[in-house]
């Protein structure tokens, strides 16, 4: 009991503002914050007294000692965060104040407000990097510090300036990327680690190196995609229609997604018969402009399309038809080569039609659709 009384007496003296009391308190803090056996409340009181005198380093030691008795106590975390800010340790201050605010730390509304204001100030002094990985639980270093609990993504507060991220995982090629964070800024990083190629059983000097899957480019330089395949369509000619399709696309990687603009050309032959002209062959020839968003292997596009229906050897003309729609598809790449599959629907306010000798022998629907498959190359 007497021992506890001495501790409280030292704390009360630290709150006095006479020069003699201040000197006595400084000496008490310097001794007791390194002593063993102090209870939690006394250590917190000593830290508060040191902060009141502007003794930030002594306060930091007292709060750290208190946290060894009650780890993650939010109010002490917040006060330690304020002390870190007073010492100019902005990254540490943000981390501690974030945990304090998340844990609803603070003995009063005023103290909670102080935590929030200091968090905002400290956050404006540093940068934040938000990392997404395609591998769960790799060993990640930023500069010389190893991060734990990264999972498939994490955030890290960093001093403004240039940094380097290194990631390693069994079965994957080590990943290294430099980046720059700015004061108050947030930088997203999409990390695509590539699988390490299996070593050949008997390597030969002339053997070609194994190709690695293509991932999003670390730069913002455009990539070009060309392809050729086949399309099965409906609503563009009598019955189902089948024919070739060719495509050209320019793609830009942006953060974790990609954007592209392309041009497709398609010619499909109707497999159904025409009324009044059963021996005639009806073709639908179209040009499509897709604007797409890519995320990993999938993509979603908005379409603009112009189409003409023709019959070789027949002189009746058909005016072009315009439409708009959407496309959903997937890309599978192996190195520079791959396969693209997609489906689309197009709405045409004025449907296509075909007449012979003044008689309408076929009229299409307002809605057309197609399924396509193509081999593609990216470069």
pLDDT of residue 357: 62
Highest-scoring range by mean pLDDT, 138-147, 249-258, 344-353: 138-147
Beta strand extents in 169-256 (DSSP E only): 175-181, 186-191, 223-234, 240-254
Q: What is the pLDDT of residues 53-63, one digit of tens each?
A: 999 999 999 99
Residue predicted with more confidence, 317 or 105: 105
2-123: CATH superfamily: Tetratricopeptide repeat domain (1.25.40.10)
Mean pLDDT of 171-195: 93
Candidate CATH numbers 3.40.47.10, 3.40.350.10, 1.10.630.10, 2.40.160.20; the one for domain 223-378: 2.40.160.20
Q: What's the CA angle centered on 233, arms 362 and 346, to 5 degrees?
A: 85
Residues 6+ apart with CB under 8 A from 2: none
Global pTM exceeds 0.85 = no
Mean pLDDT of 9-35: 39
Asked whether the predicted pLDDT for residue 85 surpasses 90, the reply is yes
CA dist., res. 233 & res. 368, Å (int): 7
Q: Would you place residue 205 in the very low, low, confident or very high pLDDT band (cuts 50, 70, 90)?
A: low
pLDDT of residue 7: 30
Q: What is the pLDDT of residues 120-130, one digit of tens each?
A: 999 999 999 99
Q: Would you place residue 279 in the very low, low, confident or very high pLDDT band (cuts 50, 70, 90)?
A: low
Asked whether the predicted pLDDT for residue 165 surpasses 50, the reply is yes
Q: Would you place residue 19 in the very low, low, confident or very high pLDDT band (cuts 50, 70, 90)?
A: very low
CA dist., res. 309 & res. 47, Å (int): 84
Asked whether the predicted pLDDT for residue 69 surpasses 60, the reply is yes
CA distances in angstroms from 24 to 5, 10, 35, 45, listed in the order given: 16, 8, 17, 15
| Domains 2-123 and 127-191 in one fold | no
What is the helix, strand, coil percentage profile of the chain, to 5?
25, 40, 35
Mean pLDDT of 204-231: 67
Q: Would you place residue 318 in the very low, low, confident or very high pLDDT band (cuts 50, 70, 90)?
A: low
Residues 6+ apart with CB under 8 A from 88: none
CATH architecture, range 127-191: Sandwich (2.60)
pLDDT of residue 179: 95
pLDDT of residue 220: 61
Q: Would you place residue 371 in the very low, low, confident or very high pLDDT band (cuts 50, 70, 90)?
A: very high
pLDDT of residue 112: 94
Quickly list DSSP for 129-148. EEEEESSSS-EEEETTEEE-
Reported for 299-304, long-range contacts at CB under 8 A and 24+ positions apart, including other chains, are 299/260, 299/327, 299/328, 299/329, 299/330, 299/331, 299/342, 300/326, 300/327, 300/328, 301/326, 301/327, 301/328, 301/329, 301/344, 302/326, 302/327, 303/327, 303/344, 303/346
What are the φ/ψ torsions at residue 299 (nearest 5 degrees)?
-150, 155
Asked whether the predicted pLDDT for residue 107 surpasses 50, the reply is yes
pLDDT of residue 267: 87
Tokens of 317: 């003309």
CA dist., res. 306 & res. 185, Å (int): 45
- Average pLDDT of the chain is 81
Asked whether the predicted pLDDT for residue 272 surpasses 80, the reply is no
The residue extents of the domains of the chain are 2-123, 127-191, 223-378
Asked whether the predicted pLDDT for residue 255 surpasses 70, the reply is no
Q: Would you place residue 313 in the very low, low, confident or very high pLDDT band (cuts 50, 70, 90)?
A: low
Mean pLDDT of 301-315: 78
Residue predicted with more confidence, 375 or 24: 375
Quickly list DSSP for 96-113. HHHHHHHTT--SSHHHHH
Asked whether the predicted pLDDT for residue 173 surpasses 80, the reply is yes
């Amino acid at each position: 009991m007497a021992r506890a009384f001495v501790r409280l007496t030292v704390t009360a003296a630290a709150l006095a503002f006479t020069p003699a009391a201040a000197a006595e308190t400084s000496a008490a803090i310097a001794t007791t914050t390194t002593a063993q056996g102090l209870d939690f409340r006394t250590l917190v009181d000593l830290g508060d007294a040191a902060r009141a005198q502007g003794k930030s380093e002594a306060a930091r030691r007292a709060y750290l000692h208190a946290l060894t008795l009650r780890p993650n106590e939010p109010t002490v975390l917040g006060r330690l965060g304020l002390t870190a800010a007073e010492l100019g340790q902005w990254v540490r201050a943000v981390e501690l104040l974030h945990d304090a605010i998340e844990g609803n730390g603070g003995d009063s509304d005023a103290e909670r407000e102080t935590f929030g204001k200091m968090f905002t100030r400290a956050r404006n002094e540093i940068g934040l990097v938000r990392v997404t990985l395609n591998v769960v639980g790799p060993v990640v270093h930023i500069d010389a510090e190893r991060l734990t609990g990264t999972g498939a993504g994490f955030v890290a507060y960093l001093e403004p300036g240039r940094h380097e991220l290194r990631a390693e995982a069994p079965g994957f090629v080590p990943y290294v990327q430099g980046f720059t964070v700015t004061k108050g800024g947030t930088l997203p990083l999409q990390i695509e680690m590539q699988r390490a190629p299996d070593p050949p059983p008997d390597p030969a000097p002339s053997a070609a190196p194994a190709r690695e899957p293509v991932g999003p480019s670390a730069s913002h330089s455009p990539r070009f995609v060309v392809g050729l395949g086949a399309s099965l369509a409906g609503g563009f000619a009598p019955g189902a229609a089948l024919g070739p399709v060719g495509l050209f696309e320019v793609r830009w990687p942006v953060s974790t997604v990609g954007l592209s603009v392309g041009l497709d050309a398609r010619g499909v032959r109707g497999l159904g018969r025409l009324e009044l002209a059963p021996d005639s062959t009806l073709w639908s020839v179209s040009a499509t402009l897709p604007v797409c968003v890519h995320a990993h292997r999938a993509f979603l596009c908005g379409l603009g399309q112009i189409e003409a229906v023709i019959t070789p050897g027949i002189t009746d003309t058909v005016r072009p038809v315009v439409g708009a729609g959407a496309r959903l598809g997937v890309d599978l790449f192996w190195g520079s080569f791959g396969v693209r599959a997609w489906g689309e629907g197009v709405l045409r306010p004025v449907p296509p039609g075909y007449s012979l000798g003044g008689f309408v022998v076929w009229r299409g629907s307002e809605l057309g659709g197609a399924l396509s498959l193509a081999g593609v190359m990216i470069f």
